[in-house]
Amino acid sequence: MLVLASMVVFAGVRAIPGNPAIALGAENRDPAVIAAVKAKYLLDKPLPVQYGHWIWLALHGDLGVDQRDLAVGHTIAQRLPISLELTLLSMIVAVVVGIPAGVIAAVRRGKPSDYAATGVALVGLSVPHFWLGLIVIIWFAVDLHWLPAGGYTTIHHPLANLQHLILPAVVIGAGLAAVLMRQMRSSMLDSLGSDYVRTARAKGLSEWSVVCKHAFRNSLITVTTVLGLQLGALISGIVTIEVVFGIPGFGSLTIDSIMQRDYTLIQGVVLVVAAGYVIVNLLVDVVYSLLNPRIRAI
Amino acid sequence: MSIVAQEVDAPRVADSRRRLRVLGKRFLRRPMAVAGLVVVLGFVVVAIFAPLLAPYPVGYTDFNAILVHSSSKHLLGTDDLGHDELSRLIFGARASMQVGVLATLLAMVVAVPIGMLAGYYRGWVDHVIARLTDVLLAFPFLILAVGLAAILGPSLLNVTLALGIGSIPGFIRIARGETLALREADYVPAAVLNGANDATIIFRHILPNMTNTLIVQATLTIPGAILGEAILSFLGLGVQPPNTSWGTMLSSAEPFLTQAQRLSVYPGLAIILAVLAFNVLGDGLRDVLDPRTTR
């Protein structure tokens, strides 16, 4: 599957208009220079040869060099941890907010707190990430001067690092929390209406134990799957939010590479995204089977 | 033969009318969904009649009123180039609705037949299609759309194409899943016994039975496309000036975050309202059309 994905990336990148050899030769339009550039980047060879060359090196961990002669693998290794940290923080925000909100809404179904949580989640689904980003910049950075408006500090300065990442993480986490909340609410309602919950109640277990031990654990199964499926949305959120907040992460690298028509960089970036997607889906399957004994038994 | 067909058809027409009435009643009992529908229709009307409703034409610049606050002349003020904000919002609605609806239609027209072929014939056809869909789904929707927009070049039409193509894999998966389930229904062998060929079964029997799912999915894809247009235009890959869209407005408002925050607020609120209305409508339609998920 990754092989197919890599071919799609390769073909897609070649379809971007504009001649990279001319772009690389800068002002120099001398045919000899352009030919030399083409030869250097194998642009004069047929596409299958270019693809074969690229994939062969990629399998050996070498993603080639970009237009500025920097190793793509190295650039990605530099940028990726920043985005992973942001992803982790966003997920923490989403889980901490979304899951309890979903449980409360389900338990208090039809009461004001349910309507409030459901309503907020619905709005949360409809807000464009980058717009929310702009608004929180206006509030917390421009008006209140509490937090920096953007940029990034390395993890070696933990406090400054967190100050830079907390706003973006909350913005991305808010959207994800809305999805989690809705999913949690509906699967909790399913669980609470099921036979085993009635049995648990009938044998006199406390409401706390019914909700937390029986219904909650079963609802987590569906929510885990949904969390995995949300990865695409999460990546989109990270890409736009990194651009809005000027965070030099993997997302802004993706946009930069596309804007600059940097073939090797785009290929490397998208390949990493596709690989990450496959790995996360695998992890979701593993977690799923850990949470759901019925699947483990098979 | 024709007499038999009439006898069969007559009650069917009455049935479908009664069904529509029941569904209509169920829909009207959901105030949120009705509100969503009203807002959506409102946006559609604004989009269609934009040139009549907007106080100023596209690209009209008032150099005597740059970055002014709301006044009787410019109800929502003007931006840094003296464009009337209200007019831009109204024309932006046109761009957003156009992208949302056309991209979704494009995705459906391409994806549904492919998904149905895969689900109906199974075997190697299904294998190839399902594998390709998985590959496309491995690219996040936005990355796919950004890449396509970069390939095609920035314009409203190309954004529509990019978002439509980006929505195809999801629709293929849904059409395939529905077809896989529906082809096991009892009426399929019954139709085969009646001498129906594959095309008849697919288009007369399976397709009508999955319209509900498709309508719901479409209502939920449109807001995704509206958001997608906003993001692409914000990144500079979408609608280009002097044409306007909500995303373009946000993009041009970003440098003025400190001076004129309202420039960022209005288009954002418009996007939220439109997307929210479609989401609420979609949720309501799903509850009405698909009794399995009704809670």
Name the band, by pLDDT with cuts 50, 70 and 90, for residue B294. very low
Shortest Cα distance, chain A CAs vs residue B281, angstroms: 12
Minimum mean pLDDT among B66-75, B98-107, B283-292: which range? B66-75
Which chain A positions have a beta carbon within 8 Å of B290's beta carbon? Answer: none
- Residues in contact with A81: Cβ distance below 8 Å, sequence separation at least 6, in sequence order: A155
What are the distances in angstroms from CA A82 to CA A91, A175, A238, B39, B145?
14, 20, 11, 40, 24
User: Is B146 close to A142, i.e. CB distance below 8 A?
Assistant: no
Cβ atoms within 10 Å, residue A132: 22
pLDDT tens, position by position, B47-98:
888 777 777 777 677 666 666 676 766 666 777 666 777 888 888 888 888 8
Select the more confidently predicted residue: B26 or B40.
B40
- Residues in contact with B130: Cβ distance below 8 Å, sequence separation at least 6, in sequence order: B118, B176
Which chain A positions have a beta carbon within 8 Å of B223's beta carbon? Answer: 126
Residues in A whose CB is inside 8 Å of some CB of B read 1, 4-5, 8, 12, 15-17, 122-123, 125-131, 134-135, 137-138, 142, 186, 189, 231-233, 235-236, 239-240, 243, 254-255, 258-259, 261, 266, 270, 273-274, 277-278
In this prediction, residue B1 carries a pLDDT of 43
User: Is B231 close to A4, i.e. CB distance below 8 A?
Assistant: no
Q: How many residues does chain B have?
A: 295
Q: Which of B141, B150, B271 comes nearest A131 by C-beta?
A: B271
In this prediction, residue B53 carries a pLDDT of 76
Name the band, by pLDDT with cuts 50, 70 and 90, for residue B108. very high
- Please give the mean pLDDT across all residues of chain A: 77
Q: Are B153 and B167 in contact (CB under 8 A)?
A: no
- Residues in contact with B211: Cβ distance below 8 Å, sequence separation at least 6, in sequence order: none
User: Is B138 close to A1, i.e. CB distance below 8 A?
Assistant: yes
Residue of B nearest to A281 (CA): B138
Give the CA angle between residues A167, A170, A175 to the nearest 5°.
135
Structure tokens at A36: 């030399």
User: Is A1 close to B134, i.e. CB distance below 8 A?
Assistant: yes
Give the residue ranges of chain A where pLDDT is below 70: 1-46, 54, 57-65, 67-69, 293-298
**pTM of this prediction?**
0.79
Nearest one of B163, B147, B144, B143 to B227, comparing CA atoms: B163
User: Is A17 close to B223, i.e. CB distance below 8 A?
Assistant: no
As a whole number of Å, the end-to-end CA separation of chain B is 44
Q: What percent of chain A has pLDDT over 70?
A: 75
Instruction: Select from B142, B144, B229, B251 the residue whose CB has the most chain A CBs within 10 Å, as the one to mutate to test that interface.
Output: B142
User: Is A5 close to B139, i.e. CB distance below 8 A?
Assistant: yes
The single residue listed with the structure tokens 């949300």 is A230
CA dihedral over B255, B258, B263, B265, signed as positive or negative:
positive
ipTM of the complex: 0.73
| C-alpha span between B103 and B79 (Å, rounded) | 29
In this prediction, residue A267 carries a pLDDT of 78
Nearest one of B91, B135, B137 to B233, comparing CA atoms: B91
Cβ atoms within 10 Å, residue A26: 9
Three-state DSSP at B233 gives helix
Give the CA angle between residues B168, B169, B175 to the nearest 5°.
85
Nearest one of A285, A265, A289, A270 to A65, comparing CA atoms: A265
Please state the rounded mean pLDDT for residues B86-114.
89
Cβ atoms within 10 Å, residue B15: 10
| C-alpha span between A10 and A48 (Å, rounded) | 10
In this prediction, residue B140 carries a pLDDT of 72
User: Is B140 close to A5, i.e. CB distance below 8 A?
Assistant: no
The single residue listed with the structure tokens 């629709």 is B171
Minimum mean pLDDT among A85-89, B8-12, B126-130: which range? B8-12
Q: Which helix (H) or strand (E) holds A38?
A: helix A31-40
